């Protein structure tokens, strides 16, 4: 059973406990991580130079496999063998290594790059360029940066090997851009935006992909800023945060209805989610809150107050550009890429044609160690982006206490029709891998 509803900032965050979510109404609206074990961090973050150097050596095509087996990050070469290791403390598959360094958010004509630029311009306009932007910080971070530095509890589910990609016991592929908060604060930054690729082991469907993109924003206040008002620091920061983010939502979505929902994050108190009413539904747009004092204290910002937010770029881009499937962001098919241009936010994507899905079912007796994320990893390893959805369609326990699961796998290409032969082969390979790697008994 999942304790947390994990749809990332593409839905409800891993970092939230779905508990007692009370809706607070605003008055303005109706309801309204680098490889520490390999490299010195300073080398990799390159002194936080905005135009620094996490440059991809991999193929320019997001779809094809890179021909190189090394990436250059901050002038340091990282070999594939440093990231994908045959070791029990490593769970990074080849398919994830191939995504490192692609940095879709840095492509000006890609929906994610267009969205990032639109958010940057909102901050530039409203804060006269005060927000420093980082968009090539290395996604390989220490577990300390990813979790401890932002106060994620020691027993939090997001730390598990089932949820996070570990390079070794101390090193992970960041699972959120919050991993950079503490270090940037320590370095004296008071206004910053961090955009980057983040990595999570997850289920397979049209809105979930093991690599997606987030943007983190942080603003620090000194006592003189709130002392002039009659408010305490936390109230002052929370009000400023809400005003800033409501403005951002309007900048992106136009005159929409919004509401604030109280929630929980380990790094903020109070914590909120912003939702907008869009196409007849309430849509979660981002998570945010007033930064925990402990984070500020540890980073040398005693007596200060700060706010922070994190948003998922795919989630917003899928709505703004009407992109129906998250895999499309990774395609290099011109029928997708040619539809977007620099600076054009919200051009509606026209599906070039919809190829039929093919469904295959698979039943097995599970063992205690079985997890759906492990199954999905195998399906992705075999079928890559041809896997559209993996869905549990039947689940029962017999009198002997044995539990059976039946999963339905939808195979579909975004680009072409698949042959029966091809799909049968994929399903055959998935079954073989599942049987040999997951300690389950196929039925
Ligand atoms: N790190 C959160 C996530 O990945 C998003 C987030 C929520 C970031 C609240 C923040 C914040 O900075 O204050 O789901």
What's the gap in Å between 229 CA and the centre of ligand 1?
A: 28
Domain boundary among 303, 338, 373: 338
**How many structural domains compose the chain?**
2
Position 113 scores a pLDDT of 98
pLDDT of residue 29 exceeding 90? no
- Give the pLDDT band of residue 76 (cuts 50, 70, 90): low
- Spatial contact of 337 and 220, defined as CB atoms under 8 Å apart: no
For 238-251, how does the pLDDT look when each residue is reduced to its tens digit (9 = 90+)? Answer: 999 999 999 999 99
Q: What is the CATH number of the domain that holds 395?
A: 3.30.70.380
Q: Is residue 278 in some structural domain?
A: yes
In a domain, 344, yes or no: no
Q: What pLDDT score was predicted for residue 38?
A: 38
Of 338, 371, 391, the domain-final residue: 338
Are 334 and 377 part of one and the same domain? no
Confidence of residue 14 (pLDDT cuts 50, 70, 90): low
| 313 in Cβ contact with 323 (< 8 Å) | no
Instruction: Identify the residue whose C-alpha is closest to ligand 1 atom 13.
Output: 288
Q: Quick one: 323 and 373 in the same domain?
A: no
**Same-domain pairing of 313 and 217:** yes
Q: What is the pLDDT of residue 7?
A: 33
* Residues 121-126: contacts with CB under 8 Å, at least 24 apart: 122/247, 122/248, 122/251, 122/252, 123/193, 123/217, 126/244, 126/247
d(CA 152, CA 264) in angstroms, rounded, equals 12
Tell how far the Cα of 243 is from the centroid of ligand 1, in angstroms. 18
pLDDT of amino acid 278: 85
327 and 399 part of one domain = no
Q: How far, in Å, is the centroid of ligand 1 from the Cα of 318?
A: 19
* Residue 269 located in a structural domain: yes
Residues 294, 254 share a domain: yes
Are residues 389 and 241 part of one domain?
A: no
Top mutation candidate among 13, 17, 193 for ligand 1, by most atoms within 8 Å of CB: 13
Helix axes of 111-126 and 313-320: crossing angle, nearest 10 degrees? 100
Residue 138 vs residue 19, higher pLDDT: 138
DSSP 16-80: -------EE--SSSTT----TTTS-HHHHHGGG-TT--EE--S-S-SSSPPS-SEEEETTEEEEH
Pair 430, 397 in one domain = yes
Identify whether 33 is part of a domain.
Answer: no
- Mean pLDDT over residues 342-357, rounded? 93
Same domain, 234 and 329: yes
Phi, psi of 309 (to 5 degrees): -145, 160
Measured CA to CA, the distance from residue 369 to residue 72 in angstroms comes to 37
- What phi and psi values does residue 219 have, to the nearest 5 degrees? -135, 130
Question: Count of CB atoms within 10 A of residue 166's CB?
Answer: 21
Domain endpoint, select from 305, 338, 371 = 338
- C-alpha 61/C-alpha 91 separation (Å) is 25
Q: Are residues 380 and 329 in the same domain?
A: no
Nearest to residue 408, comparing CAs of 435, 430, 437, 429? 430
Dihedral of the CA atoms 249, 254, 256, 259 (nearest 10)? 10
DSSP secondary structure code for residue 208 in this structure = B
Pairwise CA distance, residues 69 & 49, whole Å: 26
- Look up tokens 């070999």; give the residue: 79
Q: Whole-number mean pLDDT of the chain?
A: 86
For residue 225, the CA-to-ligand 1 centroid distance in Å is: 24
Same domain, 373 and 415: yes
Give the model's pLDDT for residue 321. Answer: 97
pLDDT level of residue 59 (50, 70, 90 thresholds):
very low
Which residues does ligand 1 sit against, CB inside 6 Å? 8-9, 13-15, 176, 178, 216, 265, 267-268, 287-289, 308-310
| DSSP E strand boundaries for 123-210 | 132-134, 140-142, 166-168, 171-173, 191-199
Tens digit of each residue's pLDDT (9 = 90 or more) over 160-207: 999 999 999 999 999 999 999 999 999 999 999 999 999 999 999 999
Highest-confidence segment of 22-36, 39-53, 302-316? 302-316
Shortest CA distance to 292 belongs to which of 269, 311, 271? 269
In a domain, 234, yes or no: yes
Helix, strand, coil percentages for the chain (3-state, nearest 5) = 30, 25, 40
Split at pLDDT 50, 70, 90, the class of 6 is very low
Q: Which two tokens stand for residue 292?
A: 């925990």
- The pLDDT of 128-153, averaged and rounded, is 97
What is the Å distance from ligand 1's center to 266 Cα?
A: 9
Question: Which of 6, 11, 12, 15 to probe ligand 1 with, by most ligand atoms within 8 A of CB?
Answer: 15
pLDDT confidence of residue 354: 85
- Domain at 230, CATH number: 3.30.930.10
Q: Is the pLDDT of residue 317 over 90?
A: yes
Do 331 and 403 fall within a single domain? no
Q: How far apart are CA 72 and CA 79, in angstroms?
A: 9
In angstroms, what is the span from residue 443 Cα to ligand 1's centroid?
Answer: 42
Residues 216, 275: Cα–Cα separation, whole Å = 17
Q: Does the pLDDT of residue 74 top 70, yes or no? A: no
Asked if residue 34 has pLDDT above 90, the reply is: no
Of 68-72, 139-143, 299-303, 340-344, the least confident: 68-72
Q: Alpha-carbon distance 312 to 178, whole Å? A: 12
The alpha helices in 228-278, defined as continuous H runs, are 233-253
Q: Please check whether residues 266 and 373 belong to one and the same domain.
A: no
What pLDDT digit, counting tens, does each position of 258-283 carry? Answer: 999 999 999 999 999 999 998 889 99
Is 126 domain-assigned?
yes
Report which of 33, 192, 197, 177 is spatially closest to residue 105, judged by C-alpha positions.
197
Residue whose CB lies within 8 A of the most ligand 1 atoms, among 309, 311, 315, 316, for a mutation test: 309
Q: In 228-304, at which residue ranges do the beta strands (DSSP E only) sit?
A: 257-265, 268-278, 281-291
Is 50 exceeded by the pLDDT of residue 320? yes
Within a domain: residue 19?
A: no
Check pLDDT > 50 for residue 142: yes
pLDDT for residue 108 = 98
pLDDT over 60 at 330, yes or no: yes
For residue 96, being part of any structural domain is answered with yes
| Full residue range of the structural domain in which residue 173 is found | 70-338
Residue 306 Cα distances to 15, 121, 184, angstroms: 19, 22, 13
């Amino acid at each position: 059973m999942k304790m947390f509803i994990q749809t990332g900032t593409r839905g409800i965050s891993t970092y939230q406990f779905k508990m007692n979510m009370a809706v607070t109404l605003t008055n303005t609206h109706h309801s309204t991580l680098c490889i520490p074990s390999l490299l010195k961090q300073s080398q990799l973050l390159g002194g936080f130079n905005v135009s620094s150097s996490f440059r991809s050596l991999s193929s320019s095509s997001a779809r094809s496999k890179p021909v190189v087996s090394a990436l250059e990050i901050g002038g340091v070469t990282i070999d594939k063998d440093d990231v994908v290791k045959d070791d029990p403390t490593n769970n990074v598959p080849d398919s994830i290594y191939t995504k490192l360094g692609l940095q879709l958010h840095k492509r000006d004509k890609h929906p994610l790059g267009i969205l990032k630029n639109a958010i940057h311009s909102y901050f530039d306009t409203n804060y006269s360029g005060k927000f420093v932007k980082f968009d090539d910080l290395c996604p390989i971070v220490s577990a300390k940066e990813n979790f401890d530095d932002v106060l994620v509890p020691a027993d939090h589910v997001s730390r598990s090997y089932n949820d996070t990609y570990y390079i070794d016991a101390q090193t992970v592929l960041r699972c959120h851009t919050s991993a950079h908060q503490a270090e940037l604060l320590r370095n004296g930054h008071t206004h910053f935006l961090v955009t980057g690729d983040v990595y999570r082991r997850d289920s397979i469907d049209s809105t979930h992909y093991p690599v997606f993109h987030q943007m983190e924003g942080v603003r620090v206040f000194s006592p003189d800023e709130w002392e002039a008002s009659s408010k305490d620091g936390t109230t002052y920061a929370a009000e400023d945060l809400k005003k800033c983010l409501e403005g951002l939502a309007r900048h992106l979505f136009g005159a929409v209805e919004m509401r604030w929902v109280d929630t929980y994050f380990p790094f903020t108190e109070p914590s909120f989610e912003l939702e907008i009413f869009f196409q007849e539904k309430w849509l979660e747009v981002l998570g945010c809150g007033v930064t925990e004092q402990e984070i500020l204290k540890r980073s040398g910002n005693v007596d200060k107050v700060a706010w922070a937010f994190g948003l998922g770029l795919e989630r917003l881009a899928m709505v703004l550009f009407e992109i129906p499937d998250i895999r499309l962001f990774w395609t290099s098919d011109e029928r997708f890429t040619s539809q977007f241009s620099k600076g054009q936010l919200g051009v509606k994507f026209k599906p070039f044609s919809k190829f039929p899905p093919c469904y295959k079912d698979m039943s097995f007796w599970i063992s205690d160690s079985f997890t759906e994320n492990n199954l999905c990893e195998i399906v992705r390893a075999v079928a890559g982006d041809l896997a559209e959805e993996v869905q549990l369609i039947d689940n029962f326990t017999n009198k002997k206490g044995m539990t059976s699961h039946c999963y339905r796998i939808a195979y579909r290409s975004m680009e072409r029709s698949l042959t029966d032969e091809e799909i049968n082969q994929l399903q055959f390979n998935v079954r073989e891998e599942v049987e040999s790697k997951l300690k389950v008994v196929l039925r």
